């Protein structure tokens, strides 16, 4: 494992000393914010081609899973992608999804991407969901996991999150 992370001064705690981070994110801004918490000696596992390109340009070591390319998304999915992701044990997994339902379930519209995200979750010590508050209260066809299966939920507006906790 060739990763050095500094989490002591960040909300993620001190779980990561040396290891691997996995990314199941497709939005470039979200990735830069998430990765910005770490030192440059980072190893990233991803199925996102655009993310891999940007991180590579930041001199970050990137492993890209192969598979079927989803049209217009630059994301690889499928059995081969799942098998690749399952070969890694990550210290931290950053995820995103389309919605967080009022009953505390993270949901999405893509079966293939949801299935792959479950692989990321299964193989990570810490699970961090990054999402915008406009996704709260939205429920889609595919369930990823429950709120209590995520170690940290990072939202730009924590007031929205508090509303869900009160229900």
At 70-96, the pLDDT tens digits run 888 888 999 999 999 999 888 888 888
39 and 5 Cβ atoms separated by less than 8 Å = yes
* Average pLDDT score over residue span 115-143: 91
| Better pLDDT: 39 or 106 | 106
pTM of the model: 0.73
Residue with tokens 């990321």: 120
Specify the pLDDT at position 96. 87
Number of residues in the chain: 167
End-to-end CA distance of the chain: 42
* Average pLDDT score over residue span 19-42: 53
Distances (CA, A) of 6 to 21, 41, 43: 12, 10, 14
4 and 37 Cβ atoms separated by less than 8 Å = no
Specify the pLDDT at position 54. 83
Q: What distance in Å separates the CA atoms of residue 2 and residue 120, rounded to the nearest whole number? A: 19
**Residue 68 — very low, low, confident or very high, per pLDDT cuts 50/70/90?**
very high
120 and 22 Cβ atoms separated by less than 8 Å = yes
**Residue 23 — very low, low, confident or very high, per pLDDT cuts 50/70/90?**
low
Whether 157 shows a pLDDT value over 50: the answer reads: yes
**Residue 40 — very low, low, confident or very high, per pLDDT cuts 50/70/90?**
low
Whether 126 shows a pLDDT value over 70: the answer reads: yes
Q: What distance in Å separates the CA atoms of residue 137 and residue 44, rounded to the nearest whole number? A: 31
**CA angle, residues 104, 73, 136, in degrees to nearest 5:** 20
3-state secondary structure of 125: strand
């Amino acid at each position: 494992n060739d990763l050095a992370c500094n989490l002591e001064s960040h909300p993620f705690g001190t779980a990561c000393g040396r290891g691997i981070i996995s990314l199941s994110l497709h939005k470039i801004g979200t990735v830069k914010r998430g990765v910005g918490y770490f030192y440059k000696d980072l190893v990233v596992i991803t199925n996102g081609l655009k993310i891999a390109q940007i991180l590579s340009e930041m001199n970050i070591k990137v492993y890209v899973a192969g598979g079927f390319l989803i049209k217009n998304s630059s994301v690889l999915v499928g059995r081969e992608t799942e098998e690749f992701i399952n070969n890694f044990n990550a210290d931290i997994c950053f995820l995103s999804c389309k919605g967080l339902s009022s009953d505390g379930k993270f949901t999405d519209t893509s079966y293939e991407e949801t299935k792959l995200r479950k692989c990321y979750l299964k193989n990570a010590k810490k699970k961090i969901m990054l999402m915008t508050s406009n996704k709260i209260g939205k429920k889609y066809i595919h369930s990823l996991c429950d709120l209590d299966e995520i170690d940290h939920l990072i939202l730009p507006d924590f007031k929205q999150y508090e509303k869900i906790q009160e229900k």
